[in-house]
Amino acid sequence: MPKGIILKGIGGFYYVKTSEGVIECKARGKFRKRDMIPMVGDRVDISIAAHDATKGSIEHIDPRRTQLIRPPVSNVDQAVIVVSVTSPNPNLVLVDKFLVAAENQKLDIILCFNKIDLDESKAYVDLFNIYAGSGYGIVGTSSVTGAGINELRNMLEGKITVFAGASGVGKSSLLNAVDPRFSLQTGEISQKIKRGRHTTRHVELLALKDGSYVVDTPGFSSMDLTNIRKEELQYLFKEFTEHIPLCRFRGCAHTSEPGCSVLEALDKNKISASRYNNYLQFYNQLKDIKEWQR
Ligand SMILES: Nc1nc2c(ncn2[C@@H]2O[C@H](COP(=O)(O)OP(=O)(O)OP(=O)(O)O)[C@@H](O)[C@H]2O)c(=O)[nH]1
Ligand SMILES: [Mg+2]
Ligand SMILES: [Zn+2]
């Protein structure tokens, strides 16, 4: 039975990439009965229709390693969080929310600082420094000059990667630079369409030549963290984790406790003030959420 991966789903049809090409498939009724709806990213077994080799049926779905809700894609390995160094200016509160959400989904994370061609004052060096201690992969790019694009492409190898970040930071432009065959809509056009009537955007896996996949997403301007418990938040700031066990008190919230190792690391600039302040801000927001409100 041919194996494949679901690239997209439209109106009850699933487009499955196999070694024989892309096959338009329906899902068997047994999935509906079991409440199992195929998702983009699913690895599947299909049967080919006897009368038409371009059509088929999904017979089996492999267990999902991961399952994102926004965007609805399974088996994602990593997220590239795109931040533009200027126009629009970086919003580090939002960036850290993206990072926390991606950590919470147990994704590998790459930080991509884009539009470095516009950054004459080299402000991106400060951004690099804020995140240098985080342990995330960091790359500086320009989809205009092509700087950093090879490096970025190498970071995608063999993985399913979701590109996320605020609107206008250059996600679609970067993907077009990584592979010009994608010809994704960028800039003004994409903005206009978003405000118009045709706001539906189908989630799609885009195949790179080497068998890697990428997913473009529409930019979002907010990120809800309220499903995260305040005690879990500390572990979603990656550079905190080595310090947490060294705090004097168990259950230390790292706000003003004596003998707090996170605060000590902040003092010694091992944790950046920007990251710490955002932790504190998110913590104070989560603190007031009751269990029943989740
Ligand atoms: N100077 C410069 N402009 C860029 C770069 N990357 C993207 N742009 C421009 O920034 C604008 C937004 O780019 P998009 O690729 O549409 O941004 P996006 O993140 O996909 O935006 P949404 O789809 O709305 O979330 C466009 O006008 C691009 O031409 C870059 O590296 N340098
Ligand atoms: Mg876009
Ligand atoms: Zn502490």
Task: Tell me the CA–centroid distance for residue 228 and ligand 2, in Å.
Answer: 28
Task: Tell me the CA–centroid distance for residue 200 and ligand 1, in Å.
Answer: 20
Rounded to whole angstroms, how far apart are CA atoms 240 and 234? 7
Task: Tell me the CA–centroid distance for residue 292 and ligand 3, in Å.
Answer: 27
Q: Which ligand is nearest to the CA of 252?
A: 3
Low-confidence ranges of the chain (pLDDT < 70): 188-201
Probe residue for ligand 1, chosen from 87, 91, 163, 173 as the CB with the greatest number of ligand atoms within 8 Å: 173
* Protein residue closest via CA to atom 26 of ligand 1: 187
Question: Could you give the maximum distance between any two Cα atoms of the chain, in Å?
Answer: 74
Among 186, 197, 147, 144, smallest CA distance to 163 is for: 186
CB 166 within 8 A of CB 217: no
Q: Is the CB of 2 under 6 A from ligand 1?
A: no
Q: Is the CB of 117 under 6 A from ligand 1?
A: yes
CB 156 within 8 A of CB 178: yes
pLDDT tens-digit series, residues 36-62? 899 999 999 999 999 999 999 999 999
CB 172 within 8 A of CB 184: yes
For residue 285, give the amino acid letter.
Q
* Protein residue closest via CA to atom 24 of ligand 1: 167
Q: What is the pLDDT of residue 198?
A: 43
Kindly report the pTM of this predicted structure. Answer: 0.93
Among 243, 179, 242, 244, smallest CA distance to 216 is for: 179
Q: Which ligand is nearest to the CA of 149?
A: 1
Probe residue for ligand 1, chosen from 112, 115, 186, 215 as the CB with the greatest number of ligand atoms within 8 Å: 186
Tell me the two tokens of residue 256.
């003003």
* Protein residue closest via CA to atom 32 of ligand 1: 115
* Protein residue closest via CA to atom 8 of ligand 1: 170
State the fold for domain 230-293.
Ribonucleotide Reductase Protein R1; domain 1 (1.10.40)
Q: Which ligand is nearest to the CA of 165?
A: 1
For residue 244, give the amino acid letter.
I
- Break the chain into its structural domains and give their ranges: 3-61, 78-215, 230-293
Rounded to whole angstroms, how far apart are CA atoms 107 and 161? 9
Q: Is the CB of 146 under 6 A from ligand 1?
A: no
**Helices within 49-104 (DSSP H only):** 92-104
Beta pairing class for 213-215 and 206-207: antiparallel
**Nearest atom in ligand 1 to 87's CA:** 10
DSSP designation for 73? B
**Helices within the chain (DSSP H only):** 29-33, 92-104, 124-132, 149-155, 171-178, 187-195, 230-233, 261-267, 273-287
Q: Which residues contact 244 (CB under 8 A, 6 or more apart)?
A: 234, 235, 252, 254, 261, 262
What dotted CATH number matches 3-61? 2.40.50.140
Task: Tell me the CA–centroid distance for residue 113 and ligand 1, in Å.
Answer: 12
Would the CA dihedral through 250, 252, 256, 261 be positive or negative?
Answer: positive
Q: What is the pLDDT of residue 192?
A: 53
Tell me, rounded to whole angstroms, the distance of Cα 226 from its chain centroid. 18
Beta pairing class for 21-27 and 78-84: unpaired
Q: Is the CB of 190 under 6 A from ligand 1?
A: yes
Q: What is the pLDDT of residue 239?
A: 97
Tell me the two tokens of residue 51.
């009368």
Tell me, rounded to whole angstroms, the distance of Cα 157 from its chain centroid. 16
CB 6 within 8 A of CB 16: yes
Q: What is the pLDDT of residue 290?
A: 81
Q: CB count, 10 Å around CB of 289?
A: 15
pLDDT tens-digit series, residues 181-240? 999 999 865 555 555 444 456 899 999 988 899 999 988 788 889 999 999 999 999 999
DSSP designation for 160? E
Among 108, 159, 160, smallest CA distance to 135 is for: 108
State the fold for domain 78-215.
Rossmann fold (3.40.50)
For residue 157, give the amino acid letter.
E
